């Protein structure tokens, strides 16, 4: 009897483990398909709606057919598995076959989607449904169950409306030179680290006030550093992805077309106080580093490696979002043989790396856990660059 119980528990544990692996694989595949669709220009709200509805409706239909055509106790499960596989395979094939949408160049136009109206309707819908049910003498359970998902949908809609407002708003006046951010457009939503939002951020984004005010939030590179850099160095600025439907959170973006982005990038770097980035690999990386070197701005170029705290959670979340893990070795391989740069070995987590006049990588700090620590290392180095008579106590990457 005891052996049967143990074997039964082991079988249940194995089934749960297999189910978790399948769910994880399905989610990763779905996110990769979604990101592929975004890369081809399908970035509006209709695309995720179609993808999500397909993933949910196809498995339901397959489950029904499986229960009818396959003997009981196994038909539903087999139908669901084949439905999910068919839905994901069909989506991947469809996204592969759809043509690339033309790039919208120049100044961004405000999207025509009425985000605020949709957000207000999402809030009103469960309340109206509850009122109708109560007036007809029925329990309002269905309306109450809709309140949480509709509240989340309303928050997303109002957040999108606020981001759309930024397209028409003039950038804030800041007499300081800008801080230029460089990154691959495909990496903009890659998570970098955890940070607690400050009062100014929750004031500007009221939908996050009650959700993230008491705990750190996983953030992209832009969101993670934007407040600290804006407070101590200068307003963050960078080129925007011409395929953006709405500008992402974080820094101000300048949208240039395919013919002029190189000229705009050179102008931004030439006038910037410094350039910041995270290690990674993207198609334009070599060109951007070449321009920085030609302009003599490599001593004002700073590479931030992710902090060690919660690094595993960040890697898992990035895999779930469909991002391949990238580290210093990928960054070094992407720049292998690029004249004027000697990167050296991995400086470790929480590092601030810049470059000497001859292109040697120099570690300014290691083991940093907060944005303020990264910014403090940058400020110390900028003082040395602006006042070269100061004492240089830095260590090169090769000194490890």
Q: According to the model, what pLDDT value does residue 212 have?
A: 47
Q: Is the pLDDT of residue 69 over 60?
A: no
Across the chain, mean pLDDT equals 80
Binned at pLDDT 50, 70 and 90, residue 396 comes out as very low
Binned at pLDDT 50, 70 and 90, residue 137 comes out as confident
The pTM (predicted TM-score) of the whole model is 0.80
Contact 394, 355 (CB under 8 A): no
Each residue of 216-238: pLDDT tens digit?
A: 888 899 889 988 998 899 888 88
Each residue of 239-292: pLDDT tens digit?
A: 888 778 888 877 888 777 666 788 888 988 998 999 999 998 888 899 999 999
Q: Is the pLDDT of residue 373 over 90?
A: yes
Which of the residue ranges 207-216, 357-366, 381-390 has the most confident prediction, judged by mean pLDDT? 357-366
The residue among 80 and 280 whose pLDDT is bigger is 280
Each residue of 106-134: pLDDT tens digit?
A: 556 677 888 888 888 888 888 888 888 88
Q: Is the pLDDT of residue 302 over 70?
A: yes
How many angstroms separate the Cα of 116 from the Cα of each of 160, 161, 250?
A: 8, 6, 21
Choose among 117, 146, 118: nearest CA to 130.
146
Beta-bridge partner residues of 238 = 253
Binned at pLDDT 50, 70 and 90, residue 400 comes out as very low
Which of the residue ranges 149-153, 213-217, 247-251, 296-300 has the most confident prediction, judged by mean pLDDT? 296-300
Binned at pLDDT 50, 70 and 90, residue 379 comes out as very high
Binned at pLDDT 50, 70 and 90, residue 398 comes out as very low
DSSP state of 360: B
Burial, 222: exposed, middle or buried (Cβ in 10 Å; 0-12, 13-18, 19+)?
buried
Q: According to the model, what pLDDT value does residue 393 have?
A: 46
Contacts 24+ apart (CB under 8 A), 322-328: 322/28, 322/31, 322/32, 322/34, 322/35, 323/35, 323/187, 323/189, 323/190, 326/187, 326/190, 326/279, 326/280, 326/281, 327/279, 328/279
Radius of gyration (Cα) for the chain, nearest Å?
25
Pairing of strands 191-195, 217-220: antiparallel
Q: Is the pLDDT of residue 391 over 60?
A: no
In this structure, the number of other CB atoms found within 10 A of the CB of residue 120 comes to 14
pLDDT above 70: percentage of residues in the chain? 83
How does DSSP assign 41-106, residue by residue? T--STHHHHHHHHHHHHHHHHHHHHHHHHS-TTTHHHHHHHHHHHHHHHHHHHHHHHSPPPPP--S
Q: According to the model, what pLDDT value does residue 378 have?
A: 94
Q: Is the pLDDT of residue 311 over 80?
A: yes
The residue among 92 and 56 whose pLDDT is bigger is 92
């Amino acid at each position: 009897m005891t052996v049967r119980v143990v074997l039964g528990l082991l079988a249940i544990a194995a089934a749960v483990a297999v189910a978790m692996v399948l769910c994880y694989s399905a989610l990763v595949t779905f996110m990769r398909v979604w990101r592929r669709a975004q890369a081809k220009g399908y970035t509006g709200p209709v695309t995720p709606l179609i993808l999500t509805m397909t993933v949910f409706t196809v498995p339901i239909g397959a489950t029904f057919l499986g229960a009818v055509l396959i003997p009981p106790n196994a038909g539903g499960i087999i139908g669901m598995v084949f439905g999910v596989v068919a839905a994901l395979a069909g989506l991947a094939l469809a996204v592969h076959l759809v043509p690339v949408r033309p790039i919208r160049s120049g100044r961004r136009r405000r999207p025509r989607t009425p985000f605020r109206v949709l957000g207000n309707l999402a809030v009103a819908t469960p309340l109206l449904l509850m009122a109708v049910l109560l007036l007809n003498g029925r329990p309002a359970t269905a309306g109450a169950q809709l309140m949480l998902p509709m509240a989340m949908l309303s928050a997303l809609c109002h957040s999108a409306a606020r981001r759309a407002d930024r397209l028409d708003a003039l950038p804030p006046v800041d007499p300081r030179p800008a801080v230029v951010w460089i990154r691959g457009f495909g990496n903009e939503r890659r998570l970098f680290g955890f940070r607690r939002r400050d009062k100014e951020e929750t004031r500007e984004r009221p939908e996050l006030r009650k959700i993230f005010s008491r705990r750190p939030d996983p953030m992209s590179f832009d969101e993670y550093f934007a407040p600290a850099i804006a407070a101590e160095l200068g307003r963050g600025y960078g080129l925007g992805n011409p395929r953006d439907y709405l500008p992402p959170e974080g820094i101000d973006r300048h949208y240039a077309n395919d013919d002029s982005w190189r000229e705009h990038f050179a102008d931004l770097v030439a006038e910037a106080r410094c350039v910041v980035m995270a290690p990674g690999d993207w198609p334009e990386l070599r060109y951007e580093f070449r321009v920085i070197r030609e302009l003599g701005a490599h001593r004002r170029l700073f590479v931030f490696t992710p902090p060690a705290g919660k690094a595993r959670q960040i890697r898992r979340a990035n895999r779930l979002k469909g991002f391949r893990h990238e580290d210093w070795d990928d960054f070094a391989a992407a720049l292998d043989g690029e004249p004027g740069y000697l990167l050296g070995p991995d400086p470790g987590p929480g590092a601030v790396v810049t470059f000497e006049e001859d292109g040697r990588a120099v570690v300014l700090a290691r083991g940093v856990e907060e944005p303020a620590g990264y910014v403090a290392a940058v400020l110390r180095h900028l003082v040395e660059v602006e006042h070269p008579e100061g004492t240089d106590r830095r260590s090169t990457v090769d000194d490890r």
